[in-house]
Amino acid sequence: MHGWIVRASLIGAVVASMGMMVGTAFSNSATPALKGKYTVLEKEQSTHTPGKVKVTEFADFYCPHCHMFEEQGLPVLEKEFGNKIEITMVGFPVIPGKLPTAFDMYEQAKTMGKGPQMRQVLFRTIHKDRLHVFDKTIREMLVKEVGLDPAAFEAGLASGKPARAVEEGKKWGQRVNVDHTPTILLDGNIKADPIDPENLKTVIQSILAADGKR
């Protein structure tokens, strides 16, 4: 009888210890509650680094809503957070009947260190200037405008690497169920509505504030 009590006590101690370990594991892996409207994608890993939020915009250069976000949404975020956010666009074509030239141009400009500049120029050219970026003369003009060498740029386009990067971006968007543009992903696994810049500000502020509570 005494032996049974000893064994039972040992088993109880082991179970309690395991319970504490499991509780600690869940506690460490839990995501702090954030403010605002958002969806956490449980199958995607967070890419957050303390003090900075990675803002990924899945966008179509031919989408008027994406153009509006470029002109009205992004400036609000950039003014509010400055270098506390890192903005990257991922080309995600949704408008039918358009050539992929603009997306390839953006990817090539990214590799040459001029991604944000090319993004702005492409949105302006397509939606305000109403020019066709697949025209080589216009393309050369835009490449020079952002400060890149046209010959090196065209060689990069011809390599096929930008087109492959666009395909990888589309696969990523499909994996995280992008069904409209723009779609915003924060730190790799938090979806937030881009139509409401104030909500985006709230979620980003909440992520940054949570850094001090982890």
**Domain boundary assignment for the chain:** 1-30, 38-213
Share of residues in the chain with pLDDT > 90 (%): 79
The percentage of residues in the chain with a pLDDT greater than 70, rounded to a whole number, is 84
Residue 214 pLDDT: 54
Domain 38-213: which CATH number of 2.160.20.10, 3.50.50.60, 3.40.30.10, 3.20.10.10: 3.40.30.10
pLDDT in tens, 184-196: 999 999 999 888 8
Q: Indicate whether 205 pLDDT > 90.
A: yes
pLDDT at 32: 61
Helices (H), 30-149: 64-68, 74-81, 101-111, 115-127, 136-145
Amino acid letter for position 29: S
Q: What are the tens digits of pLDDT across the range 109-128?
A: 999 999 999 999 999 999 99
pLDDT digits (tens, 9 = 90+) for 22-34: 322 222 334 568 9
Note the pLDDT of residue 27.
29
- pTM confidence score: 0.82
Tokens of 168: 């990888």
Q: CA angle at residue 43 from 161 to 48, to 5 degrees?
A: 70
Q: How far apart are CA 127 and CA 157, in angstroms?
A: 23
Q: Looking at residue 87, what is its pLDDT?
A: 94
Percent of the chain that is helix, strand, coil (3-state, to 5) = 60, 10, 30
The pLDDT tens digits of the residues spanning 48-77 come to 999 999 999 999 999 999 999 999 999 999
